[in-house]
Structure 1
Amino acid sequence: MEPSPLTQDSRPDVFQPKIIRLYEQLFKADDEDMELSEGFWQEFFLHRPDSVGLKRILGSISPDEMLHQQAHSQQLLRRAIIRVKQARSPADEIALETLTVFLDAALTKKYTNPSSDIISVLAGLHDADAVMTDFIATLDTVIRNGQTIPLRLGAVRATLSITAAGFQTALPSYFTHRDLFPSLMKYVQDCETSAEVLPAFYVLGLLANYNKFEFQNPYRLRLDDFVNDAIIQKMITCFGGTCLKLRDEYIAVQDDMPEGWTLGSTLSYIGLGALAPSSRPSTPVPPPEEAKSLFAALPGPEIGVLLSTYDFANANKVFCFNLVKLQSETSGDPSPFSAYLSFASYLFQHAHRSARAALYTYLSLFILQILVEDQLLLKQLCSDETKLSVRLCRQRQPYLPIVKSERVPAAVILDLMVDGINHNLRRRLDVDFYVLCLGVLLRILSHLSRAKARISYHWSELWRTLLAFVRFLTTYENDIKSNYRSTELINTLVNLLAFALSSGENFLPDPASYDDLFYKLVESGDTLIKFRDAFSLSSESGSMQTLINVSSHYHSLLEGNEKGKVRSKNLSPREVSNVIKQGYETLSIDASEGLDRWEKFREADFKTILKKIARAAMDDAKTLNEEN
């Protein structure tokens, strides 16, 4: 009897999915020129992808090896395109998911000649235009007309992968040759959840920023005249939800919900916390070094969608008005704008933690500056009709007063600027950040003065912060002067204070608030003189001299009343008020014209920063794809 040709393989010690063996066969170093069989590809697109396994295999291949095996990677792209175009489930979804992982891993390797090497890996230099054009056209069709949202989402993610991973090469230019904007908008319109909208909104930001300072980017032009409210509102709702998620990641590190005014908190406040009754357990605060590390890793990669929001806000007033006025879909939840302001407050307090956080802080400030420069929008931001409640960051002292009631958005934005100024003071000062913060303050105060609008706000906190900033700059004058924008910073700060002094009666709510500004200037008299001398402002700044003249005027009055000594702490509020009022009668404020003058936001002025932000968003897009 002849032995049976069938033999039993020994059972492997560790089970390996069949798709992993197919990956290994596809990216095997040997036989790189061999055409894989039709049967191989039939089986390949039959098995569900193993993203972790594919990433591991691709991660072990060096850039040179990737180029050496380009025949097989080119076959993968061509075969995947065929499966997607055939629109047969599940092969089309498998092809898109596989491509997403492959593109992320293969395109981010450090090739010697990135553009040409990546083209070789994907399509070959001779066939690049035909293959890539076909690929983009296929993605476009699926994004617009795919049979299911999961399938279309797969095409969006593949688009995000190739856009992000190839941002420093010529690859995204294929997306500018074929306009995906209508398809992306159609996709957003059909989405049911914010999670589905996010990748498409993210893609839009990357595409709109690709080489936009070198040529007329078609996606940027598309943003100008897009007026579909329903689609815009879906993107804004997605943005608001993303902001809440990003904010909650900060809160997860340190829960900063202010306590109610209880017996325990009262005893603690006066130094008798040991006598306080035990309270409910709270989230443990990590050790300082651990907290520092955790905060430095934030915000999460979803933050890249801030770039898309900025581009829309900078180009489209319909988007801006929707951003400010859109309410939440669920009653009781914060509106998208409230969510954004809340997240921004956490971002601003921790802007100094990393260069990446600082870049996104600039972007957030650009958005706020764009909003407050539009007089119709700013009128809305100061209107009771748009009042909202915003949870502001309280993770580091000094704290601003807690306001539990709803406020106009402009008041919240003032708080963001105050917190940003207070919590990012460093000898190596981020001057760009401070110029932007002061610019937003100047635009809001200028509008309030012209409109004679009086909003409820703790104005004393603003004056205290600005004058404390003056003291800080005086202390570290040599470090500040080394920055090329230091003169702009100093002039903006001085003009802002002088403008408040000369025009405060137009927007401050009552005489006492105006008196408080004068009194704080008097208290800072010596500092103002040192500040003037440190930055050589005596001959070139009429605003600076105005501040010193006012301070000197009241010093002389107080000295007369107090026998040569300024003993402000011993004066009662009524006495202070009387001295201030007496001083008004003999005070002459020589307010220069144009103290509230500001230049409209011009994107080109921030070209270098915006290019860095686009690269940061590109890296975050790759991280986001890896997490998904």
Structure 2
Amino acid sequence: MDAIEFLTGFDNIMVKIQKLLSICQTQLEGESTETVKGLCLKLILILITGIQSINQNILIEYIMISPLFDCLVKLLCDVPTRQRHGYEVVLIITFLVNYRKYHAANPYVVKLSILDDEIALNGYGQVITSSLSEFCNQYNLEHAENQNASWFSSLTNIVGNMFISEEGGVRMQQVRANNALLLAFYEAIHLNRNFITTLAQTQTDASSPPSPNNTLSNIQDIPDLSAAPATFDVTTQPSNLLVTFFQYCSIVMQDTKTEAGTNTVKLCFLILGCITEDQYANSLMHDVSLAFKVRLHRLPMRHRKLSSDKTTSSQPLICTLLDLLVEFILSHMMKKFPMELYMLCTGVLQRILCYQKKCRIRLNFVWKELWTALISLLRFILQNENYLGKKINIFVLSIKVVNMMNFFITYGDNFLPTPGSYDELYYEVIRMHQVFDNIYSMALRYSSGDGDYKEDALKLNNTLFNVRAIIKHFNPKIEQWLASANLSTPSEEQILEIVKKNYDSLTLKLQDSLDHYERYTEMPHYGTFFTNMVNIILCDTRNNINCSLLNFTNIASEYPVI
């Protein structure tokens, strides 16, 4: 800002900035070369990122009152321009949407929320899809190379190299670069219902973009100042934004040990929460005619083979999302427990179940995998009670997990695929009764004391009523049958038969609000998170622009002035 005032004079700054923006808009809308358009977009980004905190940058006020938004939308509609400059266009929109949006009316928030140009929205989505696809494909290649190496080499490479914790790590830099597009994805999902229709559309640009390896082959092409991931398609296979995003989530969700990694995963879960809260998005994901095979990457763990990535069969997208959530639950039971991420994960699950119950959708999914994951999470909390209980409120998460089981117990007959599925649910509760008994005992200890979690512990015990009623009802009948049959260990089939014959005498209690959830609101819960995320992206963008301009200066200096 000081430099601008020095060059233009404070009295003339408004006029000159508006003139500068008018020139940029003219070049972007006219028949200018792609190089000139790229320079104009970079100049706008320089103005936006000139100050560390975006909300303190007064220059953005002049950009906000200019007719730039319509110009950017037109650029997204043009395939060649979008392929070459789509990242910068989407990035500019995202920055401007986040300018002082908690303090005053933001016209870009309004404009993005009411945008109904299908071509522009589809182009917006293609920019995100292409960049995330490039990341996923590069990861797949490196992962395949590691799979072909020795067992020890594979372990060290996957765990040590895929997510380098140092700030300069190549993989982490790529993840951070994609955070800008994740934020753009979030803003579109959160603000614009019309964008939902693009989620499951097959996205393949017909024309090929210029190869980034050849951008310096001709002096007229200098400079290619893109400091961001390339926005071109890297695969000829039909895909869509949801397919790509699910695979991307499966990769980045492997890194929750660093703060940066945790923030990326948190943003992914917030996006998933917004998606699963939308009725139309849910209808798309549950549509059996929209079936895709998706490769979900899984964290290497000691109890399973390294080559444990899961390529789903051709199935509705909601099944893939459930697979992703189950995998997260099972693979993040660690000492550095990601409590907030688990709360967000269970929130996404609750939204899915509420939609299925409401619409009576009987999804062909192996629900036993989810029940096993939820019970395993309760068991982990029990085993680490002394450590976790000193750091976090383990009862809040335990309540959400038990209520998830309550949801199946109470409403399962409305959406489970077969009556046998309901029997299997009861079998899992009976089989793992010791976990529920111990959870009840733990909560009873806390509710009887004077600790901070007394009320939550009491609430947890109340949520366990139906689970304990099932255990108390069926266990004596199973023991009675074993005694009469002179057996010590029943088979699964025998227990299921006992369950089927004794439903009528079971008494359960209808628990309140199982099929209701608090709708997502950005403020006040996540305002600080998004402010920090925007400032980090702004800093990275400014550094990337500086590097690209420096590279261009060095290249240009090698050519004689004619």
State if a TM-score over 0.5 links the two structures: yes
TM-score by length of 1: 0.71
Report if the CA contact (8 A) 1:132-1:174 is conserved.
yes
**Structure 1 CA distance, aligned partners of 2:257 and 2:377?**
20
**Greater relative contact order, per chain length (Cα 8 Å cut-off, separation 6+):** 2
Aligned counterpart for 1:150 among listed residues 32, 35, 52: 35
**Structure 1 CA distance, aligned partners of 2:352 and 2:381?**
23
**Higher Cα Rg, which structure:** 1
Report if the CA contact (8 A) 1:325-1:386 is conserved.
no
**Structure 2 CA distance, aligned partners of 1:421 and 1:626?**
41
Counterparts of 1:510-529 in structure 2 under 5 Å? 510-529=418-437
Residue number in structure 1 paired with 2:325 = 417
**Structure 2 CA distance, aligned partners of 1:384 and 1:341?**
17
Shift of 1:343: 0.9
Matched, 1:187 2:187: no
Report if the CA contact (8 A) 2:290-2:316 is conserved.
yes
**Structure 1 CA distance, aligned partners of 2:423 and 2:121?**
45
Matched, 1:254 2:143: yes
Matched, 1:315 2:235: no
Counterparts of 1:361-510 in structure 2 under 5 Å? 361-397=265-301, 402=310, 404-481=312-389, 486-510=394-418
Shift of 1:588: 1.8
Counterparts of 1:547-562 in structure 2 under 5 Å? 547-562=467-482
Change (3 A) 1:545 1:624: farther
Q: Which amino acid aligns with 1:244?
A: S
Counterparts of 1:268-417 in structure 2 under 5 Å? 285=154, 286-287=156-157, 288-293=159-164, 299-329=175-205, 332-350=237-255, 352-397=256-301, 402=310, 404-417=312-325
Q: Which moved more, 1:140-149 or 1:595-604?
A: 140-149
Report if the CA contact (8 A) 2:199-2:241 is conserved.
yes
Report if the CA contact (8 A) 2:204-2:239 is conserved.
yes
Residue number in structure 2 paired with 1:100 = none
Change (3 A) 1:256 1:348: farther
Report if the CA contact (8 A) 1:194-1:238 is conserved.
yes
Matched, 1:238 2:127: yes
Residue number in structure 2 paired with 1:600 = 519
Residue number in structure 1 paired with 2:459 = 540
Q: Secondary structure at the match of 1:314?
A: helix
Report if the CA contact (8 A) 1:133-1:174 is conserved.
yes
**Structure 2 CA distance, aligned partners of 1:122 and 1:614?**
28
Residue number in structure 2 paired with 1:82 = none
Change (3 A) 1:173 1:356: farther
Aligned counterpart for 2:530 among listed residues 610, 614, 618: 610
Report if the CA contact (8 A) 2:83-2:127 is conserved.
yes
Q: Secondary structure at the match of 1:591?
A: coil
**Structure 2 CA distance, aligned partners of 1:257 and 1:454?**
40
Change (3 A) 1:229 1:117: same
Shift of 1:184: 0.8
**Structure 1 CA distance, aligned partners of 2:89 and 2:14?**
24
Shift of 1:481: 4.3
1:140-170 Cα offsets, whole Å, 9 max, x none, are 3333335223311221122223323435132
Residue number in structure 2 paired with 1:572 = 491
Q: Which amino acid aligns with 2:242?
A: F
Shift of 1:443: 0.9
1:224-268 Cα offsets, whole Å, 9 max, x none, are 11111111111211211111112234334433999xxxxxxxxxx
Matched, 1:619 2:539: yes
1:414-467 Cα offsets, whole Å, 9 max, x none, are 112112222222334222211111011011111112222112222111111111
Aligned counterpart for 2:503 among listed residues 584, 596, 611: 584
Residue number in structure 1 paired with 2:210 = none
1:466-489 Cα offsets, whole Å, 9 max, x none, are 111111122233554456765543
Shift of 1:574: 2.0
**Structure 1 CA distance, aligned partners of 2:146 and 2:279?**
34
Change (3 A) 1:534 1:281: closer
Q: Secondary structure at the match of 1:135?
A: helix
Report if the CA contact (8 A) 1:206-1:617 is conserved.
no
Residue number in structure 2 paired with 1:172 = 60
1:30-67 Cα offsets, whole Å, 9 max, x none, are xxxxxxxxxxxxxxxxxxxxxxxxxxxxxxxxxxxxxx
**Structure 2 CA distance, aligned partners of 1:424 and 1:332?**
32
Instruction: Give % identity.
Output: 20
**Structure 2 CA distance, aligned partners of 1:621 and 1:404?**
36
Change (3 A) 1:534 1:314: same
Q: Which amino acid aligns with 1:153?
A: G
Change (3 A) 1:120 1:392: same
Q: Which amino acid aligns with 1:142?
A: Q
Report if the CA contact (8 A) 1:156-1:200 is conserved.
yes
**Structure 2 CA distance, aligned partners of 1:377 and 1:494?**
27
Change (3 A) 1:210 1:335: same
Unaligned stretches of 5+ in structure 1?
1-115, 259-278
Residue number in structure 1 paired with 2:214 = none
Number of aligned residues: 491
Q: Which amino acid aligns with 2:285?
A: L
Report if the CA contact (8 A) 2:312-2:320 is conserved.
no
Report if the CA contact (8 A) 2:297-2:310 is conserved.
no
Q: Which amino acid aligns with 2:21?
A: I
Shift of 1:515: 2.1
**Structure 2 CA distance, aligned partners of 1:441 and 1:118?**
51
Q: Which moved more, 1:487-496 or 1:453-462?
A: 487-496
Shift of 1:182: 0.8
